[in-house]
Amino acid sequence: MNLGLSGAPTPAARIADFVGPGADRSADLSASGQTLADVIADDFRAFTNTGLEQDQAEEFVFLAESAGLNTSQGSVRAGLRQSAQATAGSPDSLVSNNISGAAAVTLVTAETTLAYGHPFFEKVGIGGAIRYIYGNTFVDYTTFYEVDSVRELIKETLEFNNRQDGHDFGIDLGVLVKPFDWLRIGIVARNLNEPDFKVDVPKEIRSELRDAGVKLNRFVIERQARLGVAIDVVPWWTLALDIDLTKNKSEFVTDFESRLLSFGTEVRIAYRWFSLALRGGAFMNIGADQNQAPTITGGFGLGFGNFTLDFAGSIATERDRFESIGSNDHFPIRVGFAGELGYRITF
């Protein structure tokens, strides 16, 4: 969007502004570069009739290949053609007017849960929960021209200036089967009613998101089913494995699905009214074609009588590289943390 390279008043003048009269570069271009130049020449002819279009298109592609761009890649070809079309088509599409940038959308929730479970025949338990959810959606959009480095871009993006408060309820149901004292098998369905929260989308990206087929007016927490198995190796040490039975789609990243496979362990220490649980594990997304590297998790839980306090965190082993002028940074693709305070009542 807005990738033109000249603000001259006429199409011919704008094309000449950045490639001049051009030159016959057919001997210098790759095969893919030549076919791209032919397409761009046709685009130029749609705006001008100077007789220079072929040479100017070849000069444009030659400059791109000389800068190291691989014109056999679809994204490179599409970007170069779009830039040529924008330059010829409008004087208002200067790169200096470019609003390309990075958008971040986050939902932060605080929940109060009322749960109840009941055992049957000492082998089966059925339970459910109703959660009041107070949610805040944060959206921020930062253009590339507002920042000088990737670190600054991430910092600006994560300020989340557009905030929208919301309230909703979540409904969960679960079944636990205990065929032996050392084995538990459970299945849970969460967010059966699919609670959602309004998103305040910055005006700079509304039309682009619509064109991409992304709907950002609501942040929906999709319903999810999960199966898990836990084995008590000894009374104070547990191993666990669980997997999503459903695939969850992303509202903000098209063609991305999430289906998590997790495994972990917990060691428990108890003395009178005090207890300590140490936890570690990992999970990976088996529902996507990329970002499948495991994410390491860890946490601990404290018990004081009927009160419980839990903290957990995670960090991905895979990192994405972000390059900008003067910097080459790597950041984890996923970072998370959670905390929970509870009180247990038995009746």
DSSP 210-279: HHTT---SEEE---EEEEEEEEEEETTEEEEEEEESS-EE-SSSTT-EE-EEEEEEEEEEEETTEEEEEE
Number of domains comprising the chain: 3
- Do 142 and 247 fall within a single domain? yes
Summarize pLDDT for 282-333 with one digit per residue, the tens. Answer: 999 888 776 678 999 999 999 999 999 999 999 989 887 665 555 566 777 7
pTM tops 0.85: no
Q: What's the pLDDT band for 1 if we cut at 50, 70, 90?
A: very low
**Where a domain ends, among 206, 241, 256?**
256
Instruction: Identify whether 6 is part of a domain.
Output: no
- Phi then psi dihedrals of residue 281, to 5 deg: 175, -160
Summarize pLDDT for 242-283 with one digit per residue, the tens. Answer: 999 998 876 556 567 889 999 999 999 999 899 999 999 999
- Do 109 and 184 fall within a single domain? yes
Instruction: Identify whether 127 is part of a domain.
Output: yes
Residue 159 has pLDDT above 90, yes or no: no
Residue 187 has pLDDT above 60, yes or no: yes
Q: What is the residue range of 215's domain?
A: 102-256
Q: What's the pLDDT band for 28 if we cut at 50, 70, 90?
A: very high
- Do 225 and 333 fall within a single domain? no
- Do 213 and 145 fall within a single domain? yes
- Do 160 and 277 fall within a single domain? no
Ordered DSSP codes for 80-105: HHHHHHHHHH-TT-BGGG---EEEEE
- Do 193 and 263 fall within a single domain? no
- Stretch (H or E) spanning 208: helix 206-211
Instruction: Identify whether 82 is part of a domain.
Output: yes
Summarize pLDDT for 107-138 with one digit per residue, the tens. Answer: 888 899 999 999 998 899 999 999 999 998 87
Instruction: Identify whether 159 is part of a domain.
Output: yes
Instruction: Identify whether 2 is part of a domain.
Output: no
- Do 221 and 160 fall within a single domain? yes
Distance CA 83, CA 64 (A): 12
Instruction: Identify whether 4 is part of a domain.
Output: no
- Do 71 and 106 fall within a single domain? no
- Do 49 and 152 fall within a single domain? no
- Do 290 and 338 fall within a single domain? yes
Q: What is the DSSP letter of 27?
A: T
- Do 135 and 250 fall within a single domain? yes
Instruction: Identify whether 5 is part of a domain.
Output: no
- Do 178 and 231 fall within a single domain? yes
Which one, of 291, 283, 282, 285, lies nearest residue 320 by Cα?
291
**Where a domain ends, among 97, 124, 146?**
97
Predicted pLDDT at 191: 95
Summarize pLDDT for 195-223 with one digit per residue, the tens. Answer: 999 887 766 666 666 655 556 678 888 89
**Where a domain ends, among 67, 97, 127?**
97
